[in-house]
A = this chain, B = another copy of it.
Amino acid sequence: MSVPPVAVAVAAAERRPGRPRDARADAAITAAAVEILAEKGPGGFTVDAVAARAGCGKATIYRRWPSRATLLLDTAHRLGLEPDEVDTGSVRDDLVLILSQLTTKLRETAAGRILPAVIAEASVNPEMRVVLARFIHDRRERPRHAVERGVARGDLAPDADVEMILDLVGGVAFYRELVSGEPVDDAYVGRLVDRVVAAFGPDAFGPDA
């Protein structure tokens, strides 16, 4: 959401002769693109569909984006799937909340449902790979702060590897939801977070944590 588009179509309203671009068309196209991507995924994301939903001609789209691919990349940025802000005062409870939200959203929101196709696209398309990496990095911001608060409070070891904790928690969510197909219920989330927090707790031994 807060990410500027990868490919900006118009080079900032320089004065040109003739009728100017209609700003409402831009809004209609981007809104329609998000809807189509969320409903149909990248596979059903056709320029015809976006134009029809936006109520404009295809030429109006191609005047702003040079290809379907650039429009798709721009749209991928606007997908949402942002974790809610949480701060219960306990790392354990923060992570449980964030994790159960994540698994629910992966299953039940439009953005979550199309993510597998975005991941597949990223595996063959370097541009999409950059977009996805940035997308994921941004969504880790809130869980990262939750873990850092835990370190500061002493719930976790001072040298706990914050990124690895996020990898463990996020990784299992994606893996079970998308890969192995096993559900992630509240009981599982609770046991999982308990283990992870314990593994990086203040009395977790070892030279590196």
Binding site for B on A (CB under 8 A): 41, 113, 116-117, 119-120, 122-124, 129, 132-133, 136-137, 161, 164, 167-168, 170-176, 178-182, 188, 191-192, 194-196, 198-200, 204-206, 208-209
Contacts and interface: CB of A to CB of B under 8 A. Distances in A.
B116 A123 contact: yes
A122 B41 CA distance: 13
22 contacts: A116-B122, A116-B124, A117-B124, A119-B119, A119-B178, A120-B120, A132-B179, A133-B180, A133-B181, A136-B179, A136-B180, A137-B180, A164-B191, A167-B176, A167-B192, A168-B192, A171-B171, A171-B174, A174-B175, A174-B179, A194-B206, A195-B199
A17 B168 CA distance: 60
A188 B195 CA distance: 19
B196 A208 contact: no
Contacts of A195: 161, 164, 199-200, 206, 209
A206 B198 contact: yes
A200 B170 CA distance: 19
Given A171-B175, A198-B206, A123 B113 contact: yes
B181 A164 contact: no
B170 A175 contact: yes
Contacts of A120: 116-117, 119-120
Given A174-B171, A180-B133, A191 B208 contact: yes
Nearest to A160: B195
Contacts of A178: 119, 122-123
A198 B204 contact: yes
Given A124-B41, A206-B198, A175 B181 contact: no
Contacts of A137: 180
A206 B201 CA distance: 13
